[in-house]
Amino acid sequence: MIAKTLVALSLASVALSQSGPYGQCGGQGWTGPTTCESGWTCTYSNPYYSQCLPGSNTTPTSSTTTTGGGSSTGVPGSAPTVPPSTAVGKLPALGWNSWNAYRGDINEAKILAAANQFISLGLKTVGYQYVNIDDCWAKMGRDTNTKRIVPDPNKFPNGISGLATQIHALGLKIGIYSDAGTATCAGFPGSLGFESVDAATWGEWGIDYLKYDNCNVPGNWSDTGSPPGGDWYNSNSAIRYRQMTAALAAQSRPIQYAICNWGNANVWDWGGRVGHSWRMSGDSSATWSYITSIINTNLAHISSTKFGAHNDMDMMEIGNGNLTIQEQRSHFAAWVFLKSPILLGTDLSKLTTAQLAIIKNTELLAFHQDATVGTPAAPFKAYSTAPTTSPPEYYSGASSKGTHVFIINTSSSSATKQFTLSSVPGLGTSGNFKLHDMWTGADVSGTYAASASFSVSVAAHDTAAYLITKA
Ligand code: GAL
């Protein structure tokens, strides 16, 4: 038993020190592993992203740059100012994405299984909607005549359109992935210079959501310094993404548009004018340090999140790695109260009852999907001598139901947390209030005067969540 545990521990440490197939292995701000598992090589894509690709260390190649006839290597020119669709994307996306669960090892059966689990696990009932395919769905080369990206027939025997039909039949929506460069991070065709043909193809297939990545960007399309006039909306990065906004707008079906440029080019300043959400960092990991650091990153740009425009803290890690159940609760709660897209990222069939209870919590989901209040919760000072922590521990925000308080215990042991009711923005300095626990769905007994202090014991790395209304 002891020997077995030791073997498991040492395997786990190998897994932690090396990135797996298609995992991130470098890039500005990246603090994770910088080497790859055997058979995979850490391959530089650009200053922000290196990824474990099969075989030897070569720059990913793609026939797109030579066969396309588009402007992928041309000088940045057309800069459409078309805004993102208002028919979709008002609220942060709620769904699933294949990447954290399967990396490049995807196929129709796995995507369809996730869609069916939306139904069988009751996820659709509580609002999960998008079933999104990530990188590695295409053949390496475009169709030489039509210039279209071609789905890999071994992975998707019914094409993406056949899969879309099945997902739509379940009352769900389907997302696809591409890249605002010459190739995706894993080396499949990118859409730079092919925006119109690709958007038309996806529209025809019935695609509802596009995640648009940032690998393999030609030098003349990159940003080396501040853009003309200092507005990053006019940066080469933004112009690449704006071209896709315009191409999507030309389709008859609305397509939600998720920018994935890892927080480059001050994307929080222009993301809402170009798409519906934007990634703020390199790839997530199932670690407490990732969760706390991305909360801080989001807070630095919290004013950018509103209806139709959302800071994206990256896909969920619930069900992956070794996060404690309390850390998984905080992971979910933080994505909820900061209104990040929530795209589950695990094999849904393996979720435990406790994990399902987290992701199906209807009160937290109602805050995230509130149709009348679009602003996220924000930190507040809970009492006059409250210590400063990183990230902050106390957050408050409004919903159509009232005022909410969320408390993260950032310390690694259980602790008593407290706040004065009158310190919560919006509650005022008089009257009596009642508290309702959003996790258990039960009211807290008694009422609290504005001058009163509420205290609660919060487990290490857990998050408490309350709705507060007038008594
Ligand atoms: C990264 C992206 C990941 C995943 C991966 C696919 O750039 O951040 O979320 O999409 O590419 O290769």
Nearest residue to 394 via CA among 368, 415, 413: 415
Residues 281-287 have a mean pLDDT of 97
Q: Are residues 139 and 236 in the same domain?
A: yes
Residues 150-157 have a mean pLDDT of 98
**pLDDT band at residue 58, thresholds of 50, 70 and 90?**
very low
Q: Is 74 inside any structural domain?
A: no
Q: Are residues 300 and 320 in the same domain?
A: yes
Q: Are residues 348 and 454 in the same domain?
A: no
Given this model, what pLDDT does residue 77 score? 59
Given this model, what pLDDT does residue 43 score? 83
Q: Are residues 293 and 422 in the same domain?
A: no
Q: How many CA atoms lie within 13 A of 392 on its CB side?
A: 17
Give 70-77's long-range contacts (Cβ < 8 A, gap of 24+): 70/147, 70/192, 70/193, 70/194, 70/197, 71/193, 72/182, 72/190, 72/192, 72/193, 72/194, 72/218, 73/182, 73/193, 73/218, 73/220, 74/193, 74/220, 75/220, 76/220, 76/221, 76/236, 76/239, 76/240
22 lines ligand 1 (CB under 6 A): yes
Residues 13-19 have a mean pLDDT of 60
Choosing from 368, 389, 424, the residue where a domain stops is 368
Given this model, what pLDDT does residue 125 score? 98
Residues 147-175 have a mean pLDDT of 98
pLDDT over 60 at 375, yes or no:
yes
Residues 94-112 have a mean pLDDT of 98
Q: Are residues 114 and 180 in the same domain?
A: yes
Choosing from 306, 335, 368, the residue where a domain stops is 368
49 lines ligand 1 (CB under 6 A): yes
pLDDT over 60 at 16, yes or no:
no
Q: Is 290 inside any structural domain?
A: yes
312 lines ligand 1 (CB under 6 A): no
Given this model, what pLDDT does residue 72 score? 43
Supply the residue whose CA is at minimum distance from atom 6 of ligand 1.
135
CA of residue 283 to ligand 1 center, whole Å: 7
| Ligand 1 atom at minimum distance from 184 CA | 12
- The residues pairing with 395 across neighbouring beta strands, listed in sequence order, are 379, 406
- The residues pairing with 132 across neighbouring beta strands, listed in sequence order, are 97, 175
Examine the residue annotation and report whether 143 is marked as an active-site residue of this protein. Answer: no
pLDDT over 70 at 75, yes or no:
no
Model confidence over 211-225: pLDDT tens digits?
Answer: 999 999 999 999 988
* The one catalytic residue among 213, 312, 314, 462: 213
Given this model, what pLDDT does residue 70 score? 35
Rounded distance between C-alpha atoms, residue 282 and residue 32, angstroms: 10
CA of residue 296 to ligand 1 center, whole Å: 21
Supply the residue whose CA is at minimum distance from atom 8 of ligand 1.
283
Given this model, what pLDDT does residue 471 score? 97
* The one catalytic residue among 134, 198, 208, 283: 283
pLDDT over 50 at 194, yes or no:
yes
Given this model, what pLDDT does residue 38 score? 85
| Ligand 1 atom at minimum distance from 22 CA | 12
Residues 363-386 have a mean pLDDT of 98
Residues 103-116 have a mean pLDDT of 98
Q: Are residues 296 and 442 in the same domain?
A: no
467 lines ligand 1 (CB under 6 A): no
134 lines ligand 1 (CB under 6 A): yes
Residues 176-187 have a mean pLDDT of 98
Distance of CA 75 to the CA centre of its chain: 31
Beta strands in 80-193 (DSSP E): 94-97, 130-132, 173-179
Given this model, what pLDDT does residue 178 score? 98
Structural element, H or E, at residue 119 = helix 108-120
- The first and second tokens of residue 105, run together, are 């090892």
Most confident listed range (16-20, 74-78, 289-293): 289-293
Given this model, what pLDDT does residue 4 score? 36
Q: Is 121 inside any structural domain?
A: yes
Rounded distance between C-alpha atoms, residue 459 and residue 464, angstroms: 9
Given this model, what pLDDT does residue 56 score? 58
Q: Which residues contact 470 (CB under 8 A, 6 or more apart)?
A: 431, 432, 433, 434
Q: Is 63 inside any structural domain?
A: no
CA of residue 280 to ligand 1 center, whole Å: 13
Q: Which domain holds residue 279?
A: 94-368
**pLDDT band at residue 430, thresholds of 50, 70 and 90?**
very high
Q: Is 61 inside any structural domain?
A: no
- The residues pairing with 40 across neighbouring beta strands, listed in sequence order, are 54
Q: Are residues 413 and 433 in the same domain?
A: yes
Supply the residue whose CA is at minimum distance from atom 11 of ligand 1.
185
Cis peptide before 153 (omega within 30 of 0): no
Residue with tokens 């992203």: 49
Single-letter code of the amino acid located at 72:
S
Q: Is 249 inside any structural domain?
A: yes
Q: Are residues 334 and 459 in the same domain?
A: no
Given this model, what pLDDT does residue 275 score? 98
179 lines ligand 1 (CB under 6 A): no
Q: What pTM value is reported for the model?
A: 0.89
Q: What is the CA radius of gyration of the chain?
A: 23
What's the burial of 141, exposed, middle or buried (CB within 10 Å: 0-12/13-18/19+)?
middle
Choosing from 333, 368, 403, the residue where a domain stops is 368
Q: Which of 44, 135, 184, 314 to mutate to test the pocket of ligand 1 (most atoms within 8 A of CB)?
A: 135
pLDDT over 90 at 419, yes or no:
yes
| Ligand 1 atom at minimum distance from 24 CA | 1
Q: Are residues 136 and 40 in the same domain?
A: no
101 lines ligand 1 (CB under 6 A): no
- The first and second tokens of residue 74, run together, are 């041309």
CA of residue 326 to ligand 1 center, whole Å: 27
Model confidence over 379-409: pLDDT tens digits?
Answer: 999 999 999 999 999 999 999 999 999 999 9
Supply the residue whose CA is at minimum distance from atom 3 of ligand 1.
283
Supply the residue whose CA is at minimum distance from atom 12 of ligand 1.
185
| Ligand 1 atom at minimum distance from 282 CA | 8
CA distances from 2 to 5, 8, 9, 175, 194 (A): 5, 10, 10, 45, 57
Domain count, the chain: 3
CA of residue 333 to ligand 1 center, whole Å: 24
pLDDT over 80 at 138, yes or no:
yes
Q: Is 65 inside any structural domain?
A: no
Q: Are residues 217 and 292 in the same domain?
A: yes
Q: How many CA atoms lie within 13 A of 270 on its CB side?
A: 25
Sign, CA dihedral 341-259-395-397, equals negative
176 lines ligand 1 (CB under 6 A): no
To the nearest whole percent, how much of the chain has pLDDT over 70?
A: 91
Residues 181-198 have a mean pLDDT of 97
Q: Are residues 112 and 228 in the same domain?
A: yes
Q: Are residues 43 and 171 in the same domain?
A: no
406 lines ligand 1 (CB under 6 A): no
To the nearest whole percent, how much of the chain has pLDDT over 90?
A: 82
Rounded distance between C-alpha atoms, residue 64 and residue 66, angstroms: 5
CA of residue 423 to ligand 1 center, whole Å: 41
Average pLDDT, the chain: 91
363 lines ligand 1 (CB under 6 A): no
CATH number at residue 443: 2.60.40.1180
CATH number at residue 148: 3.20.20.70
Range of weakest confidence among 70-84, 398-412, 419-433: 70-84
Q: Is 140 inside any structural domain?
A: yes
pLDDT over 60 at 364, yes or no:
yes
Q: Which of 44, 98, 213 to mutate to test the pocket of ligand 1 (most atoms within 8 A of CB)?
A: 213
DSSP single-letter state for residue 386: P
Examine the residue annotation and report whether 213 is marked as an active-site residue of this protein. Answer: yes
Residues 92-114 have a mean pLDDT of 98
Distance of CA 384 to the CA centre of its chain: 35
